Amino acid sequence: MKHVGVDIGSTTVKVVVLDQQYHILYKYYARHYSKVRTETLEVMKQIRSLLQNEPFTIAITGSAGLGTAKHTGIEFVQEVFATRIAVEHFIPTADVVIELGGEDAKIIFLTGGSEERMNGTCAGGTGAFIDQMATLMNMSVPELDKLSFSHKKIYTIASRCGVFAKSDIQPLLNQGAQKADIAASIYQAVVDQTITGLAQGRRIEGTVAFLGGPLTFLKGLQDRFRESLDLQENAIFPEDAQYFIAIGAAMHSVNSTATSYDDVLRRLTDAAHAKTTIETLPPLFSNKEEYEAFLHAHRTDDVQYCDIATYEGGAYLGIDAGSTTTKMVLITEDYKILHSYYALNAGEPIPIVLEQLKQIYALCGDRIRIRGSAVTGYGEDLIKNAFQIDTGLVETMAHFRAAKYFNPDVDFIIDIGGQDMKCFKIRNDVIDSIVLNEACSSGCGSFIETFAKALGYDIREFTALALRSTHPVNLGSRCTVFMNSSVKQAQKDGASIEDISAGLAISVIKNALYKVIRANSADDIGKNIVVQGGTFLNDAILRSFELEVGRTVTRPSIAGLMGAYGCALVAMDQQKETSSLLPLSQLESFTHTSKATTCTACTNRCKLTINTFEGGHKFISGNRCERPLGKSQKRAVPNMYEFKLNYLTSLTPKEGRFGKIGIPFALNMYENLPFYHAFLTALGFEVVLSDVSTREIYQLGQHTIPSDTVCYPAKLIHGHIENLLEKDLTVIFYPCMPYNYDEKKGDNHYNCPIVAYYPELLHANITSLSEVSYYHPYLSPHDRRAFEKQAFAFFSEHYPITKKEIRAATSAAYSAYDAYKNAIYDFGYKTIKYAEANDLDIIVLAGRPYHVDPEVHHGIDKLITSLSLAVISEDALSPVIGKQPSTVVNQWTYHSRLYAAARYIADKEHMHMIQLVSFGCGLDAVTTDEVRSILEGEGKIYTQIKIDEINNLGAARIRIRSLLAAIDQLKERKAK
Amino acid sequence: MATLQYDKTGRLLFTKEMKNEYTLLMPMMLPIHFGFFEEIFRLHGYNAVILDTTGQDIIDEGLRSVHNDFCYPALLTTGQLLHALKSGEYDMNKTALVMSQTGGGCRASNYIHIIRKALKNQNLEHVPVISFNLVGMEKNPGFKMTPKIIAQLTYAVIYGDLLMWISNQTRPYEKNSGDTDRLLESWMRAIKREIQKSTSFLPKAANEKFIQIVRDFHAIERTTQDKIKVGIVGEIYIKYAALGNNNLEEFLHNEDVEVVMPPLLDFALYSLNNVLVDYRIYHKGYIKTTVVKWIFRFIYALQDKVNSAIANYSDFRPMQSFERIKELVKGYVDTGNKMGEGWLLTAEMLELIDAGIDNIICTQPFGCLPNHIVGKGMIRRIKQNHPESNIVAIDFDPGATKINQENRIKLMLATARRNMQSTSCRIPALETGKQTV
């Protein structure tokens, strides 16, 4: 008897027919383009001759196969299980199976305690991740694969999330890193994700079988796995690896009752034609009239053009040098467009701008004189320097200026580009709050484009279909990967392409509104909304947005050029006679070379690009601070983050009677270290710290992290423990602290659950900790008497320590802690005085003590001081202000400080707050809203920067510069 | 009509006047238990309504009203309350909302403020929000937790647990489909009638009821076929509420699985136990501990009665004693781990394995802070010590799709089926004797 296995995955369908001895008689592999049932039916029709003469057994498997199986009544087998059946038969020597699919990743441990695992909610390390990265690199997956072979080095690329990875890759591209190196690094990220996300601490050893599409077709990926896991000949890449799941399903079907070809065909036909219930939304347009009215309403937001060949007079140039595209606009004195340009820059804006400038000069001739020029965007500084542009400004200001032209009362701007989303509110003619998309809020234009491609459509064709949809699918609004699986579900249920396309448009908008902007209501975001960015040129997106906010918005016809147009307007505002722009003669002889290097001046290790222009004129980019520029700093601006780090790292070990004890220098130890250092030193321990965090330290412990959505500061501790173990420490101390010091500023004084109990998690997940003495008692320094009792009970059990000694050590501990706190207050006070004397503004870089960790803040403090602003932390201010009323439960010590500091600066003209928030910090969902409302209540601007493992400050820079621009605007207005 | 009164912090109070005029809306978690709660509140003069609404609208309302980085239960409960409030079914000027509050170090303590914020944003500030707690937070003149109410709620939890516990053991095996649910409904009606009588909550009367319940369920005609048993643990709301876990129980039931749902009483005892823990670690509250120990004795006595009814009159699996649960968690996390579900979550996994139920779904909202540690953070060690355990962690949030969740659960079930074929049944070691504090 024959056995049939049907594997319906997220993007492909695979069918195999086996004979009695499990030999493959027939195999089929194709993309199903979401037409799951029809495609399956088609395949079955093709193999009529093979199956129609005798009964056979059949089973369906795969993540998109469940619905089909349910509907047809055909046996279903879970795909990991099917894989296991096939592997056990065909590769009996395998110890581990790694199978990567389109959107799933699986690992099966066959020997030594069998275990199966699938990727969790974040889908880094899957085929979809590779597809996404290839799109970003502007190449096909096979091209990427080929390229990866010629790599020379590997960069670290965040592996958990496509958005993070993109943030790592984009700067590399822009700095001119070799594409081959990046290709291999992308594969390495997939490998890392498999080791950390999937294996979660279990070692991948022995004979490893690799299955699934990506691992079959991508030889470069195979190489990375073989090398990283040190497998050599123990890596098995079986023939037909992409069919293994289908084979497993066929083998599984052996036990089920045999069926006939006609019966199966009838069931599949029924299923293909069946209507299924899908959660749907109202259509974008309920009738033709609505559509006409919509088109009519948006006809008015057009900009006028003027013929460059005939115009005479002054003109203004605007350049938007984005990270992936370059846009240029030349306008007349009466705002008409003479010339516009839009192109992908492949990370190299200079040649493109040079070419365009030459062309513009040629078109202008003697009739048109360029009176002013301005540049914005990622390449702002570079272009400004290279071509002597008059003005450089931050993107948000450029967009605001342009939007104001189209709607003078504009109070909200949303810009959705291919890869980025920016939204900002305007209040009192000043940019008030800026929101940028981050991980978990990643759906942008390219997302729809990738989908269109995956489903076999051109983007225009695909979005046009959305307008005809009658029942858009409800796809949810979180990460794009979630959307992927929602689409999968819709496909499974048989939704039409029209409905999927409309559903995608709606979900991009819902994502923007509820996930990125977090709007409470339509009125909450604004009454005069201007939408822009290339993605809004798509009518389905525009319509979804209008439906969701319930009002008509302004979409300028040049939605994709607004940054450049705004620059041109700003150039005009400056009323110059002549622009400093390089004249044509100098452009003719223009030369430019760039060299990538790494700065060694401090631990941030900034990746620098040294640009050399004609005549040896140099420009350095990629730096966080002034140091690599070789300029002696005019004045050392006070930086409390640096001060704190220096204070803590200067706590040195002293030899003691009990020998060495290690403390991981991470998380709450950034505040509690002086206390425990003094306490343990006084007891007679030599306190050894783990090294200051680096990416390498993180990677040391990456494989023991059980929950990949926990915050980065917590993940780092795993590495610090490994670092201590490498130092051969046999005693490690890291206490559980549910309560923090009571500073009498809240209703209670908790730590967050992570700070409170993470020591217990480390104990349960780092197996090597069982080989040393790992001390993680519950201690509560908020109550001195309780602390003494706890400490005595714990330490006297392990060491000959008396109560008296504990008491003395406790005294030393409290003194050391007070000394540290006083040093912080003192530094804060002096900074305020210094700022007053030197006419500096102060940024309160607020967050939690561990944000001082340079691997956590990635050098944001230095970025701020490089803009001549002093930096202090929130705890420096909290003693000068008492308990504050709040609209939330104020029961965490760190939070109380934030609220107190926000209150304190709310009426201080020269102090501003930037709140650092670690990705995944659930408690900051509470604090950010509260801090925002405290600041905005007093007319202050709230700025939040989300940080995670990614080491790219692009978004932070935009936020900080926008804040500065807004502050300047406010000051200017006051001066008037 | 009742006037709006505020306390000195500016919080809108629920007044005695309001008690007479207002409808109290409460979010649903466990249908059996909360049905009893509703009855008890009504008995004491509150016009309480436990919301049994479901659907995408609730999620959408939550997404609109709650910071999306907040956890899913906050989003759902707020969504359910606001959705009902605005449904037109209730007079918005005569409705108050009720939300539970624990006061612990988990962000769940903030739910009540989240709801207030959402009301404020929608110009519904005049709707009072009542904190339902047993530790004296946010007092309201019109809503008082009297000892009598607390005692009745305790009984309601015990009745609810018993009905949930044994109906889960008969439903998958019943020969006549629907027998279990019919019996369950008739018993729920009976208990509600008992509540109205208000005198029947005496240990002796209760004991008789326990025995009757056990006998009735035991009399249901059942197959002896061995089925896969799956325990559900996790964040309390997601674990219990069908709205939170995409009808997980129903899904498992359709997979022909026996669902084992840990009793709600354990969570109550866990909360109570924190008083003892605080004394042990922080040396605070000696007097409270004596009171709490007395309460423990009272509840243990009741629970022992339930378990002896089960042992003497049926072949059902008894519930684990709380003291045993505390014992099991040693070596994993300290009982000082008390934020959110704290150590209890780890203990519940161990408790299930201890009772021979190796297949476990650990449910949590996406990004749940305590769960990083006591849920996902302990699975590795549990598997190390119990290689036979088969645990899958599932995240729930508004964007998570049912298909991905179901696929992972199906994998767990496939493994469970294989394990069932390969191993003979282990006899669980259970203590059903008397418990002491």
pLDDT in tens, B83-102: 999 999 999 999 999 998 87
Look at residue B197 in the predicted model and tell me its pLDDT. Answer: 75
CB contact under 8 A, A78 and B380: no
Query: CB of B109 within 8 Å of any CB in chain A?
Result: yes
d(CA A66, CA A493): 10
Chain B residue numbers with beta carbons less than 8 Å from the beta carbon of A279 are: 56
Write the CA distances from A740 to A673, A750, A783, A912, integer angstroms.
Answer: 13, 5, 10, 27
Please identify among residues 26-65 of chain B the ones whose CB lies closer than 8 Å to any CB of chain A. 56, 63-65
Strands A2-8 and A12-18: antiparallel
Beta carbons within 10 angstroms of residue B386's beta carbon: 15
**pLDDT (average), residues A446-456:** 77
In the sheet with B359-365, reading across from the earlier edge strand, the strands are B257-260, B228-234, B359-365, B390-396
Residue B360 vs residue A700, higher pLDDT: B360
CB contact under 8 A, A707 and B71: no
Q: Is 60 exceeded by the pLDDT of residue B200? A: no
Residue A518 vs residue A720, higher pLDDT: A720
Q: Specify whether the CB–CB gap between B362 and B233 falls below 8 A.
A: yes
Candidates B392, B401, B402, partner chain A, best to mutate (most A CBs within 10 A):
B401
Q: Which of A43-52, A274-283, A758-767 has the highest mean pLDDT?
A: A758-767
Chain A residue numbers with beta carbons less than 8 Å from the beta carbon of B380 are: 200-202, 706, 764-765
**pLDDT (average), residues B165-186:** 96
CB contact under 8 A, B338 and A738: yes
**pLDDT (average), residues A690-698:** 92
CB contact under 8 A, A888 and B63: no
Please tell me which of the candidates B337, B340, B398 has its beta carbon nearest to residue A477: B398
Q: Specify whether the CB–CB gap between A849 and A894 falls below 8 A.
A: yes
Beta carbons within 10 angstroms of residue A879's beta carbon: 18
CA A358 to chain centre: 38
Q: Report pLDDT digits (tens) over A876-916.
A: 987 777 677 777 778 889 999 999 999 999 889 899 999 99
Look at residue A275 in the predicted model and tell me its pLDDT. Answer: 62
Please tell me which of the candidates A474, A751, A761 has its beta carbon nearest to residue B56: A474
Chain B residue numbers with beta carbons less than 8 Å from the beta carbon of A519 are: 64
Beta carbons within 10 angstroms of residue A397's beta carbon: 23
**pLDDT (average), residues B286-304:** 92
Please tell me which of the candidates A116, A709, A752 has its beta carbon nearest to residue B367: A709
Q: Report pLDDT digits (tens) over A580-602.
A: 999 988 888 888 887 777 877 77
DSSP-derived secondary structure letter, A875:
G
Q: Is 80 exceeded by the pLDDT of residue A346? A: no
CB contact under 8 A, A113 and B387: yes
Q: For CATH 3.40.50, list the domain ranges present in chain B.
A: 16-143, 226-263+319-427
Look at residue A764 in the predicted model and tell me its pLDDT. Answer: 94
Please name the residue ranges forming H helices in B122-178: 147-170
Quick one: fold of B226-263+319-427?
Rossmann fold (3.40.50)
Strands A731-733 and B228-234: unpaired
Q: Specify whether the CB–CB gap between A682 and A808 falls below 8 A.
A: yes
CB contact under 8 A, B377 and A714: no
Quick one: fold of A1-91+238-274?
Nucleotidyltransferase; domain 5 (3.30.420)
Residue A81 vs residue A272, higher pLDDT: A81
Helix (H, G, I), strand (E, B) or coil at A594: strand
d(CA A714, CA A260): 57
pLDDT above 90 covers a percentage of chain B that reads 72
Please tell me which of the candidates A202, A476, A520 has its beta carbon nearest to residue B399: A476
By CA distance, what is B381's nearest residue in A? A764
Write the CA distances from A97 to A206, A212, A235, A630, A707, integer angstroms.
Answer: 10, 10, 10, 53, 22
For chain A, the average pLDDT equals 87
Candidates A889, A893, A921, A924, partner chain B, best to mutate (most B CBs within 10 A):
A889
For chain B, the average pLDDT equals 90
- Residue A615, phi-psi category: left (phi > 0), alpha (psi -120 to 50), beta (remainder): left
Look at residue B249 in the predicted model and tell me its pLDDT. Answer: 95
Q: How confident is the model at residue A155 (pLDDT cuts 50, 70, 90)?
A: confident
Chain A residue numbers with beta carbons less than 8 Å from the beta carbon of B397 are: 121, 478
Q: How confident is the model at residue B424 (pLDDT cuts 50, 70, 90)?
A: very low
Please tell me which of the candidates A483, A757, A786 has its beta carbon nearest to residue B333: A757
For chain B, the first-to-last Cα distance in angstroms comes to 49
Q: Chain B: nearest CA to A114, how far in angstroms?
A: 8
CB contact under 8 A, B370 and A925: no
Look at residue B199 in the predicted model and tell me its pLDDT. Answer: 61
CB contact under 8 A, A760 and B377: yes
Chain A residue numbers with beta carbons less than 8 Å from the beta carbon of B105 are: 738, 748, 750-753, 756, 891-892
CB contact under 8 A, A789 and B337: no
Chain B residue numbers with beta carbons less than 8 Å from the beta carbon of A789 are: 283
CB contact under 8 A, B117 and A929: yes
> Which of A561-565, A754-758, B159-163, B404-408 shows the lowest mean pLDDT across its residues?
B404-408
Cβ pairs bridging A and B (under 8 Å)? 207
Q: How confident is the model at residue A199 (pLDDT cuts 50, 70, 90)?
A: confident
Q: For CATH 3.30.420.40, list the domain ranges present in chain A.
A: 1-91+238-274, 313-407+565-588, 415-548
DSSP-derived secondary structure letter, A512:
I
Q: Chain B: nearest CA to A916, how far in angstroms?
A: 15
Look at residue B407 in the predicted model and tell me its pLDDT. Answer: 82
Helix (H, G, I), strand (E, B) or coil at A493: coil
Q: Chain B: nearest CA to A495, how far in angstroms?
A: 15
Write the CA distances from A370 to A317, A349, A565, B353, integer angstroms.
Answer: 7, 21, 15, 78
By CA distance, what is A80's nearest residue in B? B411
Q: How confident is the model at residue A484 (pLDDT cuts 50, 70, 90)?
A: low
Written as six digits, the tokens of B377 are 């953070």
Write the CA distances from A939 to A11, A767, A770, A906, B293, integer angstroms.
Answer: 51, 52, 54, 8, 53
Query: CB of B370 within 8 Å of any CB in chain A?
Result: yes
Query: CB of B411 within 8 Å of any CB in chain A?
Result: yes
Q: Report pLDDT digits (tens) over B36-92.
A: 999 999 999 999 999 999 988 999 899 888 877 788 999 999 999 999 999 999 999
Is the domain covering B16-143 a CATH 3.40.50 domain? yes
Quick one: fold of A313-407+565-588?
Nucleotidyltransferase; domain 5 (3.30.420)
Candidates A61, A121, A278, A441, partner chain B, best to mutate (most B CBs within 10 A):
A121
CB contact under 8 A, B283 and A785: yes
CB contact under 8 A, A757 and B68: no
CB contact under 8 A, A116 and B411: yes
Q: Is 70 exceeded by the pLDDT of residue A485? A: no
d(CA A721, CA A729): 10
Q: Is A407 exposed, middle or buried (CB count within 10 Å of its CB: 0-12, 13-18, 19+)?
A: middle
**pLDDT (average), residues A832-845:** 93
d(CA A562, CA A404): 11
CB contact under 8 A, B407 and A116: no
Look at residue A917 in the predicted model and tell me its pLDDT. Answer: 92
Chain A residue numbers with beta carbons less than 8 Å from the beta carbon of B65 are: 520
d(CA B282, CA A787): 8
Helix (H, G, I), strand (E, B) or coil at B225: coil
Homologous superfamily of domain range A415-548:
ATPase, nucleotide binding domain (3.30.420.40)
Number of helices and strands in chain A (H, E): 36, 30
Q: How confident is the model at residue B427 (pLDDT cuts 50, 70, 90)?
A: very low
Beta carbons within 10 angstroms of residue B45's beta carbon: 10
